[in-house]
Amino acid sequence: MPRLLVVHHTPSPSLQELLEAVREGAALVPEVDVVVRPALTCSPVEVLECDALVLGTPANIGYMSGALKHFFDQAYYPCLDATVGRPFGLYVHGGDDVGGAVRSVETVTGALRWKRVAPVLEVRGGVQRADREAAVELGGTVAAVLSP
């Protein structure tokens, strides 16, 4: 069964809400195994064993979270050649500006040569109904790439 790996750093209620919505959307796609891992504990082996990813991070001082950066630092070389073309999606939450965090993740995923298969979900401030719906759609869209 294809595996979707959701790698996240979720230090706030807003990010928890987005994570749950992504998981909900992915679960709507049949015959896809959804695995959720915190960025600080996700291993390169889990990345190698998955078929697609959704990445979630807060925007911290114009950058991705240190936890997601740590994930990339651990996974980069073991996954560099083995995961070329890996489909992924991204959601970012911040109080104001999330552009720097989006760019930083896109820089690393670009170097890994992963393929973004859904628009980036950028959420500022409190999570609104439209944001939650977009997170459900994000999870479903990335999972659907794996559906037979």
Question: Residue 37 is encoded by which pair of tokens?
Answer: 């891992």
Phi, psi of 5 (to 5 degrees): -105, 120
pLDDT tens for each residue of the chain, 148 residues long:
999 999 999 999 999 999 999 999 999 999 999 999 999 999 999 999 999 999 999 998 899 999 999 999 999 999 999 999 999 999 999 998 899 999 999 999 999 999 999 999 999 999 999 999 999 999 999 999 998 7
Q: 75 near 67, Cβ under 8 Å?
A: no
pLDDT at position 24 is: 98
Query: What local confidence, expressed as pLDDT, does residue 12 receive?
Result: 96
Q: Which CATH superfamily is domain 3-144 in?
A: Flavodoxin domain (3.40.50.360)
- The pTM for the full model equals 0.97
Q: What is the domain partition of the chain in residue ranges?
A: 3-144
Q: Tell me the backbone φ, ψ of residue 80, rounded to 5 degrees.
A: -55, -55
- Give the residue from 103, 108, 102, 96 showing the smallest Cα distance to 70: 108
Q: What is the pLDDT of residue 143?
A: 98
Query: For residue 9, what are the CA distances in angstroms to 17, 98, 100, 148?
Result: 12, 15, 16, 30
**Rounded (to 5) percent helix, strand, coil in the chain:** 45, 25, 30
